[in-house]
Structure formats: C-alpha cells, structure tokens
Chains A and B, each alone.
Chain A
Amino acid sequence: MPDEALRAGAVGDSALIARAAEGDERAIGPLYERYGGVLYAVAYRIVGQRADAEEVVVEAFAQAWREAARFEAGRGSVAGWLTTIARSRALDLVRARSRRDRITASAAADRPERSPAMGEFPLDPAGALDLDERARQVRRALESLSPPQRQVIELAYFEGLSQSEIAERLQEPLGTVKTRVRLGMQKLRESLRPFYFERGR
C-alpha cells in the first residue's frame, strides 16, 4: 500500500496497529499524526512541563510499537488504548519525580534540536482542526459539570488517585466521591459521544 493511503486516513486505526504488530514502522507515522496531539495534551496535563511531556509521548509510542500485538480491538478504541498508555507513563514519571524529590529543571534545557527529517511528517491540517474542535467541545462539556464533579474526575485521571484517596484528600465521604465520579462521567459520556475518537472500526 502506498504511504499516501496510510496518511490520508484511508486505513483504520486497528489496521494500523495490526501493521505495527507485524513490524511495519510506516504505521506509526499516521498514528502519531492522528493521536500525537491528544497524547501530548494528556501527558502535559499530568507532568506539567514540555520536555517531560514530549518524553512521555515518545515512550508511549515506543511502548505501543513494542506491544502492538497485545491490542484487543474488542476492548476499546486505539485512541483509548494509546492515551491509557501515555497516562500511565506520565503518572510513573511524576511518581518517580516525587520519589526522588527532584525538580527536573535540567530537562527543560535538554530541548531536542529540530530535525531536518521533519518534512517526512507534515501535520495533517484536517486532523489538527479536528483536535481544536474536540478541545473546544471537551472544555464546554467540562464546564457543564458541577465544580465538585469536575474536581473528582480530574483528581482521578490526572493525579492517578483512587476514589478512596480522593475522599481522604477532600475530606468527603467515599460515597459522595463515588456519586460525583459516576454522575459526572455519565454527563460527559452523553455530551461527548459525537466526539469520540473511534474511527475505522
């Protein structure tokens, strides 16, 4: 298959992962174009700085490449799988950071140089617009939640806290936290359904 067809989105996500599992590295480029921005957004939100967020994205794609054969299409979308990997790596990094109690100021100085091979990966303009539109919708959906609902969801997803840990941190009953998570997520599920990443399945 020509590279053009891979880039143009004619090949579905699951098919790209299947190609990656067979060792076809050309599958990673289109996946990066589609989801690199989302993974970076999740990573940045968790680690809070650019150099580390970029490293998380690189690690996440490397892991997806190594473990492509383990992806199970029946259990969710490729976007969901990739962001789950990126979130775990980002939380690992934050935990390691706090364990070492070290500010990674030096990482910021370690900026990668712009590579001349960049031309290989033109940013897909349609994809980028898509992401901006999604980001607007996600912000709108989050704003429609009550602040306590939004708070518990963000503590769980971006700080990796369990519901019991959230209850402890907020000094609220566990049942209250669980209800907020459930109702908030139900609301998001309804309002964000048209913007799910699932495609090519």
Chain B
Amino acid sequence: MTRPDQESLRDLAAAYALGALSPEEAERFEAVLATSAEARLDVSEYREVAALLGLGGPQAPAGSALGDRVLARIREPQPRTPSRSRSPALWAALAASLIAAAGLAASLLATRGKLAAVEDALAARDATLAEARQRLASREATLEAILAPGVRLIQLTASGDPEPGIQLFWDRQRHRAIVNGYRLKPVAQGKAYQLWFITDGKPVPSVTFRPAPDGRASVGAVPLPADGAISAAAVTIEPASGSPQPTSPILLVGTLPES
C-alpha cells in the first residue's frame, strides 16, 4: 500500500494509540485497522510506548497495602461476566434489600455483599453514561458540521429493494464532506464501498467504507479534491484497500449543484 492517502491514514496510528484522535478520525482509522496488518502492528507498538510514558514523570511510592486493596476489591461479590446485563444485578440488590427490610436475617456480611453489588451496578451505570456521553459528543460534532453555514445535502441514489441511499453533506467552506449511508447491502470479505468525486469529468478516488450489519455507514470529514470542478459523486464496490480507478459499475450516484 503506497498510495499517499493510505500513508497518511497509517500516520494516525501514533495519535490513535495516544487516544488523541477525534471520534470521527478514530472511526476512519479503525476501518483502516480492520484491513491493514501493518497498521495493527503500528498501533500495538505505539500502545507499548504509551504504556511506558507514565514512568517518565516524577515517581511517588504507592501505599504498601495497595496490592491487598486490589485483591480485596476483586474478591468482593460482583457480577463479572461481561455479557451479563447489569440491571439484573441492581434488581437483585434491590430485592435483597427488600428482604432485609422485611426483617429476615441480615448479617453484616450480607449487607456488605449487597453494598458491593449496588456499587458495582452504579459503576456500570457510570461507565454506560460515559460511553453515552462520548457517543453524544460525536453526534453533536457531526450535527454541528452538518448545520454549518454553506453545507449542502446531496442525495446519492440507486435502485434496489430495499432502496439503498447515501446522503452527502457537502461543506464548501471547509472543503470536506460527511457521508451517511443507509440500507447498504453487506459487501464481501476484502471488499468495501468506495466514494468517487467526478471532477472535470474524471473519477477521483475518495474514502472506502463498510456498512454496519444494520446497513448504515457514516464517514466524517471526507476531504474533497482540491482542484477542478466537482460535478457528481458516485459509489462503487472495490477492494477494501481502495482503487485508483473504479473497477466495478457505479452503484449509487448523485449530481452536485454548481458552486
């Protein structure tokens, strides 16, 4: 892979391992990771570097009982199967506390166990909340980008049942676009959808993407070709690493208004 855009995506590995990519960039980079063993190696090495970084600062000794606290925490009764839903734990804790309130034997030990379960359920809620907040921040960023002045919506259409489509939000001021696809059919292993900008009558390669199982795909901050008049955007199916020229028929197409 020596195409310039691939190189620049690989360059994101260091920032990705440091957690310094925006949610949109991280999403694009993860698509690269899925197909590039080189990028995966880069990330695993940069993660090693990141793991060492903490040692570069001033060192302060930890309390001598820290190891015991770690062990004590993992020995507390808690739901630990990752696939298990968290709310049953909360229900279990609530039910247990009702029983206790009814005056059934509630030993100190049992109370501590329930507390731990409730704490764990709360911690799980916190984690879910943090995830939701992050998703929301990413959505907000996308929404802001879409609502910026000068952004136009171009609809790429195709025939099919159900009918797939792609919305292209074209930000002329910042010279970039957001791609939002829906009802896209899954593509074979090693293949991906690729976006093309028809510029001065020629297809200029842009990003590749694969739809999620629900048929949706979104790519943020897609750069537009710097030169030439863009007349249309089109999508074909290409090898996952992308093609310099389309190798398959156009699946979806939409024309851009004159700028």
A-side residues, CB < 8 A to B, are: 23, 25, 28-29, 32-33, 36-45, 50, 53-54, 57-59, 61-62, 65-67, 69-70, 74-77, 79-80, 82-84, 87, 92, 111-115, 117-118, 120-121, 131, 134-135, 138-139, 141-142, 153-154, 156-158, 160-164, 166, 178, 181-182, 184-186, 188-189, 192-193, 195-198
Contact = CB atoms under 8 A, between A and B. Distances in A.
B65 interface: yes
A65 B74 contact: yes
A157 B70 contact: no
Given A77-B47, A92-B130, A112-B69, 9 more contacts: A42-B54, A44-B59, A79-B51, A117-B68, A134-B55, A141-B56, A160-B19, A178-B15, A198-B48
B50 interface: yes
Interface string B14-58: 110111111000000000000000001001111111111111110
Contacts of A80: 44, 47-48, 50-51
B49 A185 contact: yes
Nearest to A121: B67
A112 B66 CA distance: 8
B51 A114 contact: no
Of B21, B59, B78, B126, most buried by chain A (CB within 10 Å of CB) is B59
Interface in B209-259: none
A36 B55 CA distance: 12
A131 B67 CA distance: 17
Of A40, A41, A65, A131, most buried by chain B (CB within 10 Å of CB) is A41
A30 B75 CA distance: 15
A51 to B, nearest CB: 8
A38 B70 contact: no
Contacts of B51: 38, 42, 77, 79-80, 82-84, 197
Contact of B68 (A118, A188, A192): A118
B149 interface: no
Given A29-B67, A112-B63, A192 B20 contact: no
Nearest to B66: A54
17 contacts: A28-B70, A32-B70, A36-B62, A41-B54, A42-B53, A42-B54, A43-B54, A58-B69, A83-B51, A83-B54, A87-B19, A118-B67, A121-B68, A138-B55, A139-B56, A195-B52, A197-B52
Contacts of A135: 55-56, 59
B54 to A, nearest CB: 3
Nearest to B52: A138
A65 B55 contact: no
A36 B70 contact: yes
B213 to A, nearest CB: 20
A162 B22 contact: yes
Of B43, B45, B64, most buried by chain A (CB within 10 Å of CB) is B45
A176 B130 CA distance: 30
B188 interface: no
Contact of A84 (B47, B74, B78): B47
Contacts of A38: 51-52, 54-55
A126 to B, nearest CB: 16
B123 to A, nearest CB: 8
B135 to A, nearest CB: 15
Contacts of A111: 63
Closest 4 CB pairs of A and B: A42-B54, A185-B14, A156-B20, A80-B47
Contact of A197 (B48, B59, B66, B73): B48
B11 interface: yes
Contacts of B71: 25, 28-29, 32, 120-121
B82 interface: yes
B3 interface: no
Nearest to B21: A162
Nearest to A164: B22
Contact of B14 (A92, A121, A181): A181
B70 to A, nearest CB: 5
